[in-house]
Amino acid sequence: MAIAQSHKTGAPLREKARKPGTGLALTLAAAQLANLLYVLSDRIYLGHMAGTGRAALTGAGLGIPFIMLLPAFAWLVGMGAAPRAAALRDGGDPAGAERLLGSSLTLLLIVSAILTPLFQVSYGELVSAFGVSGESAAYAGEYLRVFSLGTVFILITSGLSPFIAAQGGAGFLLKAALIGTASNLILDPVFIFALKLGVRGAALSNVLSQALAAAYILASLTGKKRTVRLRFENLRLKFGLMLPCLGAGLVPFLLQAAEGASLLCFNAGLSAYGGEPAVGTMAVLAGLTQLFSLPLAGLAQAALPALRRDFAAGEAAKLKRTFSRLLAAALLYSVALWAAVSLWPQLFARLFSPDQKLAETAAPVIRLFFSVSCLTGLRYACLSGLAAVSEKPRGVFTGAVTGRGLLLLPLICLLPALPLQVSGAAAVYLSGPAAELLLAALTLARFSPRFGRALRLCAGEADPHAQSGLFRFLRKAILIFTGPMETVWEEPFSGRPAIFVCNHDRAYGPIAMNVHFELAGDLRSWINAQVLSVKEAPAYIREDYWWDTGKWYSPILGHTLVWFYTLIIPPILRGADCIPVYHDTGVISTLRNSVKMLADGKQLLLFPEQPTGYHKYAEKIFDGFVSVGRLYYARERASVSFYPTYVDWKKRQIRVGKPLIYDPAVKYEAQTAAICAGIEAFLARCGQ
């Protein structure tokens, strides 16, 4: 059996480890197809109701944005709690994982107990908020009123599914999706046509289908095959366990909420500019949009395991070939569907309703709305390729869908206000292709350099420590605007692996060393891991001495300026190829990465001063950095030079002292004390 070495970890990767990934890929693809059938069935059946199909279809379309909010609340709980439960299980605490599972179910039940009566009381106001009245509004109210009775089942299905996925139960999730889809396909015609319940029948069919799926999920989690099981004694809600999970589930919550908000804005804009017929057309467009997106999303997710495996194995040719096949399949589907929709728009409109008037009205709108949808396949393929070479693949897809919502919202509001030679309703429709075009361009702009670099990295042609173009640009810009600085060496640089231990002096120390220092291009800095995280940076900035915390305006800055810093600084610093510094068990990663960085020919830069206030530092420095010298010697049998460095911004000077060389013959404790004392003495002497 052939064994390859991972270019990231050096761990062996076995060529034959492909069947599990293939099975998962097929499962994901099948689940997406099941979801597609599920979401389209209601609209297709309702649109074919004799006499009232168009109004019923419009009414269901009005209710869809609110229905999309229910899975968002479920993901707020489940998407955050499931990974934490898996970590507890893997850490040897299955009882803690089961307590978290029980608390999650209880919280989902509480949320459903709040949302269900809220929908029951306010469904009329929710529908009338769009300015649509008459038969369509009545149908929308009926649909929401009945559908909301199944809130508890939707929350259980969507909220607990991540716990099964975290235990490797993708097959169970596929079965649950098939149960819901099959039952909905069977019950819809029975309730809508045979029992003549119309819109209420479609909603009731959804409720019963979700109930069956929820029962299957609960049965799976209480079964003996689960390593983390649902137990009655764990159903007490523990807020201490759930609060961190809610924070982790905020991103998927916002993701789904942004999709619902986009559709809400579409409906509101079309109601204002085109009235009820335009909103009915939007119901058709929403269905066709899912006909484009869901199969392509399934294809992209199915190809992701193979792409990541090829990248991890460092096989550039296979990675390129796998992506080429994905791109060809995605483009074939999107271009073929785009061509069919453009050539026969009335045929696709009649898929949702036999109403000839609706088909004639919708035909030109369908051509406009899907005018650039041939690019959808390109976008999803590039997203999959980008996720394959990223550390957080899920974040790539999450950011892409969230970005779509953020693009659509302003476009829907902006385009009708512009002096375009089209009607207001047409301008609202135009926001769809405008957003798709912008997203495709942005995705391609992100994908091309990163995937190209990944291919070169696999082929051994790329610098694994290359800094981002943004970071290099900012360094040159700062150099132009701040002028030159002089570097003064007490002893010429030896060229051996070096760690430059520098004073901080607020932001001047890092700026001077990364921009003006002679060896700035080869320096790689230690940076606190919290500053690199968008989630953790605000709390860290508030606790650190970025401004005088004793001033009256400090709380104001803590709730305003801190968010500006959080948006700007983490992306810039992550492009510096820095080494994240952790203060818990993650410190092992910091030390390991530091040794590897030195072995790869780079030099380290760190700032060990202990801040004691605004512009104030203690005389004693942190001493943990000396362990890098010991670990590097253990690996490379070579000594590291510690250079005490002082930045004097006012004098425009960087002073570098004589190196303190790590000596393996001296005891580590004594050597740590000697090296730190030498650095402290140099910094004190220069600061006088």
pLDDT band at 52 (very low <50, low <70, confident <90, very high): low
Pair of tokens at residue 153: 């089942």
pLDDT of 19: 41
Beta-strand relationship, 603-606 and 498-502: parallel
What is the C-alpha separation between 208 and 211, in angstroms, rounded? Answer: 5
SS3 of residue 628 by DSSP: helix
Residue 324 has pLDDT above 60, yes or no: yes
Q: Both tokens of residue 197?
A: 């319940």
Least confident of 144-153, 335-344, 440-449, 483-492: 440-449
Structure tokens at 194: 């045979």
Across the chain, mean pLDDT equals 81
What length does the chain have? 688
Q: What pLDDT was estimated at residue 6?
A: 38
Compute the average pLDDT of residues 487-506.
91
pLDDT of residue 251: 64
User: How far apart (Å, rounded) are the C-alpha atoms in residues 303 and 306?
Assistant: 6
Token reading at 135: 């038969």
Distance of alpha carbon 345 from alpha carbon 348, whole angstroms: 5
pLDDT tens digits, one per residue of 12-26 = 333 333 343 445 445
Unique residue bearing structure tokens 């974040």:
395
Choose among 548, 542, 522: nearest CA to 605. Answer: 522
Strand 486-489, strand 603-606: pairing:
unpaired
* pLDDT over 50 at 9, yes or no: no
pLDDT in tens, 458-477: 877 667 788 877 888 888 88
Say what the pLDDT of residue 57 is: 65
Q: How far apart are CA 17 and CA 468, in angstroms?
A: 34
Q: What is the pLDDT of residues 393-408, one digit of tens each?
A: 555 555 555 556 667 7
In the prediction, which pLDDT does 170 show?
63
Between CA 626 and CA 679 the distance in angstroms is 12
| pLDDT at residue 17, rounded to an integer | 36
